[in-house]
Amino acid sequence: MSTTSPPASATSARSTAYRPSAAKRAQVWLANHFAILSAILVLLYLFLPVAYTFAFSFNDHGKTNIVWQGFTWEHWQDPCGVPGVCGSLVTSLQVGAISTVVATVLGTLMALAMVRYRFRGKSASNVLIFVPMATPEIVMGAALLTIFVQGFANIGIDLGFTTIVFSHIMFCLSFVVVTVRARIQSLDPRIEEAAQDLYASPMQTFWKVTFPLILPGILGAAMLAFSLSFDDFIITNFVSGNENTFPKFVYVASRRGIPAEANVIGFSMFVIAVLLVVGAQFVSSVRASKVKE
């Protein structure tokens, strides 16, 4: 090399020259910790209602569960003790499972088409996928209600479980497409070319290379779809008829005071979901460290 590095003394002289003043450093320190401190406050704010939900699951309440009246294990011992609450939970889980599977399959296929192919009508398809996400839920709920009442009822499909599932698949679909599409786009197309170059037919290329690589995206999309479906109230409220989902049960009950059993179930769902997510993270990090050894 024809260039030589500057002598060490010059380097250190430069770093002293650039060292910020004490006041400046204090300011920087404060700025750094401002972000972290406010982040912690925001996280506490996010958890506050969850803490309330948890606390009031132990409330020994009478007719309404609004004001603290005393501690009891009663609601945790029999979460299904209130009529309808566990039925609505089962309905929500069923709706969530079916909608997630269908929306994830259809959405993944669409995402593959959108990234991997050129075709007439691609930008129209893009709009069709985007607009449902930009439409307020209440408008979708209203529109679905009119078509179900005025159209589907005539062919024997009344408001209920089926119409809830149809609607949930619809609004989950766009979110699945967007999530999976991002994953496929981040995939180096050369990796698929390499598979073909190494004698993999298009089918083998998909199942041996493409699919395993986009699987995390598909699983993420499925999780998103399930949580959207499980927690949806506004659209469900329009299209459910007499069927009760868990959010709908809670909403209806909220007028008289939500029974603490609902808090038990709501908080348990929270714990299960967090354990699943943390567990998945833990498994993947253990797997990664195992490979490193």
Partner 1 sequence: MTALAHAAVDPGADPAAPAPRATKRSWTAYVLLLPGALWLGVFFLLPLVQLASVSLQSRYPGFPGYYYRDVNLDNYASALTDYAPHFARSFLYAGLATLLAFVVAYPLAYAMAFKAGRWRNLMMICVIAPFFTSFILRTFAWSQILADEGWVAGTLNFLHLLPGGNIINTPVAVIAGLTYNFLPFMVLPIYASLERADPRVIEAGGDLYANGFTTFRTVTLPMSMPGVLAGTLLTFIPAAGDFVNMELLGPQRGKMVGNVINDQFLAIPGGYPVAAALSFTLMAAILVMVFLYVRRFGTEELV
Partner 2 sequence: MAGFREASGDLQLESVTKTFGDFTAVDDIDLHVPRGSFFALLGPSGCGKTTTLRMIAGLEQPTAGRVLIGDTDLTGSRPYERPVNTVFQSYALFPHLNIRDNVAFGPKRRKAADTAKRTDDALELVQMSGFATRKPSQLSGGQQQRVALARALVNHPEVLLLDEPLGALDLKLRREMQVELKRIQTEVGLTFIHVTHDQEEAMTMADTVAVMNRGHIEQLGAPAALYDLPRTRFVANFLGQANTGVGIIKDTDGDHIVADVLGTPVKILKSRSQVHDGEVLFGVRPEKVTVSRTQPEGAGNDVKGVVRDVSFLGVATSYLVDMPSGTTWSCYEQNLDVEPLDLRPGDEVWLTWNAGHAFGVPA
Q: How far is the CB of 200 from partner 2 (least distance, A)?
A: 5
Query: Which conformational region is residue 6 in: left (phi greater than 0), alpha (psi within -120 to 50 degrees), or beta?
Result: beta
Q: Is 220 in the site for partner 2 (CB under 8 A)?
A: no
Instruction: Say how far apart CA 31 and CA 27 lie, in whole Å.
Output: 6
Residue 199 is a binding residue for partner 1 (CB under 8 A): no
User: Which span sits near partner 1 by CB under 8 A: 9-17, 70-78, 79-87, 126-134?
Assistant: 126-134
Is 175 a binder of partner 1 (CB under 8 A)? no
- Among 34, 73, 197, 271, the residue binding partner 2 under the rule CB under 8 A is 197
Q: Out of partner 2, partner 1, none, which partner does residue 208 contact, by CB within 5 to 8 A per kind?
A: partner 2
Name which of residues 97 to 156 contact partner 2 (CB under 8 A): none
User: Under a CB-based contact definition with an 8 Å cutoff, are residues 176 and 224 in contact?
Assistant: yes
Please pick, from the candidates 128, 153, 200, 213, the single residue that binds partner 1 as defined by CB under 8 A: 128
- Alpha carbons 63 and 214: distance in angstroms, whole number: 50
User: Positive or negative CA dihedral for 280, 282, 288, 290?
Assistant: negative
Pick what 247 binds: partner 2, partner 1, none; C-beta below 5 to 8 Å, kind-dependent: partner 1
> Is residue 3 involved in binding partner 2 (CB under 8 A)?
no
User: Is residue 200 part of the contact set for partner 2 (CB under 8 A)?
Assistant: yes
Instruction: Pick out residues in 235-264 that bind partner 2 (CB under 8 A).
Output: none
71 has which bridge partners?
A: 59
**Which residue among 250, 259, 260, 261 contacts partner 1 (CB under 8 A)?**
250
Residue 53's identity, in one-letter code, is T
Q: What is the DSSP string of 16-83?
A: HHHPPPHHHHHHHHHHHHHHHHHHHHHHHHHHHHHHHHHHHTTB--SS--SS---B-SHHHH-GGGST
Stretch that binds partner 2, among 149-157, 199-207, 230-238, 266-274 (CB under 8 A): 199-207
- Using rule CB under 8 A, residue 16 touches partner 2: no
Question: What's the closest the beta carbon of residue 234 comes to partner 1, in angstroms?
Answer: 7
Judged by beta carbon, residue 74 or residue 137, the one nearer partner 1 is 137
User: What token pair was written down for 285?
Assistant: 């990090």
Residue owning tokens 């406050």: 41
Measured N-to-C along each axis, helices 122-134 and 85-116 cross at an angle, to the nearest 10 degrees, of 150
Q: CB of residue 22 vs partner 2: minimum separation in angstroms?
A: 40
Query: 169 contacts which partner out of partner 2, partner 1, none, CB within 5 to 8 A by kind?
Result: partner 1
Number of Cβ within a 10 Å radius of residue 111:
25
Among 90, 138, 157, 215, binds partner 1 (CB under 8 A): 138
Single residue of 198, 272, 283, 286 touching partner 2 by CB under 8 A: 198
Q: Which does 6 bind (CB under 5 to 8 A by kind): partner 2, partner 1, none?
A: none
291 binds, among partner 2, partner 1, none (CB under 5 to 8 A by kind): partner 2
Say how far apart CA 64 and CA 252 lie, in whole Å. Answer: 13
Sign of torsion, CA 273 275 276 282?
Answer: positive
CB contact set of 50 (below 8 Å; sequence gap of 6+) = 267, 270
Buried residues in 272-283 as b, exposed as e (16+ CB within 10 A): eeeeeeeeeeee
Using CB under 8 A, pick the residue from 209, 221, 239, 265 that binds partner 2.
209
